[in-house]
Structures are given as structure tokens and as C-alpha cells.
Amino acid sequence: MINILNNYGSFTDEERLAFEKIAQVRLFKAKTLVFDGNHVFDRLYYIQSGIIRSYRIVDGEDYTYYFFTGNEFAVDYQSYLTNMASPLFFEALTDTEVYLFPKSAIYQLYEKYPKFEKIGRLMAEQAYLSAADRLKQHQTDDLKTRYQKLIAKSPNLFQSVPQHYIASYLGVKPQSLSRVRAEISGKKY
């Protein structure tokens, strides 16, 4: 818990204690639904360990939106900010330990300790930058480049996440991803 705060500045013992009090530890087994879409995302999950996948279901088809890994906050930030139902589902892909922070408790923390608003602002900025970067990659980068960037950013995904989820995240069918992987490794497909 202290590491979360240390990433965002220095805090007094009183502020740290208030932060720790609102955190709720949750353990999810692999393949467990963490958040059911079509509800308002009224919490933040800080991933202590494990991997969570967010995805949408469109016309019965499952589309991976994002992978959240250790030391990241997992949230549908748009739903969180607008109080509108989220179209995203969140699933633990591995055994996962999180700290759950209810939105109401976070806002009370903001009121009592305004320094915590900085964390909220930095999270919003990071969420925006991540979404903008992903959009740019899909508009300008070919599949091979997107795949290599994902490997560089999150190499542990490839040991823990089924290939069809990675293909979905990259916006292609598993066969296309297999061809790119073979090309990179120098094998014939």
C-alpha cells in the first residue's frame, strides 16, 4: 500500500492511514469475473499481483479492450467519471490480488486530504495518454509493430494470456497473429 502512495509523492502518517483504511483486499481466482459490464464502474482496483483483462461483447463477439497488470489501476475511467453504465467486463486471467477502493470513499478522501486529488488527476492523465497512444497505434502502426510494442511493454502477458485474447487486443484474428509471430521468429508459416 505504501508503494502506491510513494509513486505519487510524500504523505503524512495520517494521510497514509486514511488511504489504507479505505482499501479492501480482494482475491480473484483465474477466470473469475471481477466486474460485470452494464453497471457503473464505481470503484478502482489496484492490482497487487496478477492480470485482469477488460473486454466488450458486441453482437455475441468478445473483443479485448485492455490488459491490466501488477502495480496498475484497473478501471473503466469513462464510466467512473460519468456515472454511466460501463460496456466493459473485467476478468481475472490469473490468480489476482487487488486493493479495491470505493469511489465514494475516494471522494471523501479528496475532501479531507486535497493532496489525494493529485493522484486522481495523474491517473486521469495516464488513462488519456494510454487511450490516445492505443488509438494512434491502430491508425498508423502495422500489426508487427503493434505486437512488438506490446511485447516491450508487457512481456509477461505472453506467458499468461491466451493468444486469441492478445490477437483480439491487437485487432486481428489469431491466424494473423500466428503469421506475425512466425515472421518475427524467422519460421515459415
pTM over 0.85: yes
pLDDT of residue 187: 63
The residue that leads in pLDDT, 16 or 124, is 16
pLDDT band at 19 (very low <50, low <70, confident <90, very high): very high
The residue that leads in pLDDT, 156 or 14, is 14
Q: Which residues does 24 contact at the CB level (< 8 Å), separation at least 6?
A: 99, 100, 101, 102
pLDDT of residue 188: 55
pLDDT of residue 163: 92
Burial 62-91 (b: 16+ CB within 10 A, else e): eebbbbbbeebbbbbbebbeeeeebbbbbb
Count Cβ atoms below 10 Å from residue 100 Cβ, excluding itself: 15
Reply yes or no on whether the pLDDT at 189 is more than 60. Answer: no
CA separation for the pair 49, 63 (Å, rounded): 23
Backbone Cα Rg of the chain: 18
Domains annotated on the chain, with CATH: 2-111 (2.60.120.10)
